[in-house]
Amino acid sequence: MEQKTTDIPIHIPPVIGEYGYYDPRDITNHWVINVEENGDHKYGCVYSSPVRRIHPYFITCQGIISNIICEVDDSHRNKLKKN
């Protein structure tokens, strides 16, 4: 049986050692992370989970978080979308 997104534990802010997920829909902040598989490449992350889940739409699993670089405030972007 496939797990629904709401059925998995999620952590905001994300936790190093868990899978980082990015969902571009209506976010107010996200974090810039590195993942174990890709060294210094930078990825966006909205939340993390100890569970790896393949999402059919929108949400991307970036990999296992090895470093959290910074938090990004996207609230200004959402205000621009609404205008």
pLDDT digits (tens, 9 = 90+) for 16-70: 999 999 998 867 889 999 999 888 899 999 999 999 988 778 899 999 999 999 9
Pick from 11-20, 31-40, 73-82: least confident? 73-82
Q: Is the backbone peptide bond immediately before 9 cis, with ω within 30 degrees of 0?
A: no
Average pLDDT of the segment spanning 7-18: 93
Per DSSP, the chain holds a count of helices (H) and strands (E) of 1, 5
- Distance (Å, whole) CA 22 – CA 65: 12
Asked if 51 and 8 touch (Cβ cutoff 8 Å), the reply is yes
Res. 1: pLDDT tops 50: no
Asked if 17 and 64 touch (Cβ cutoff 8 Å), the reply is yes
Res. 7: pLDDT tops 90: no
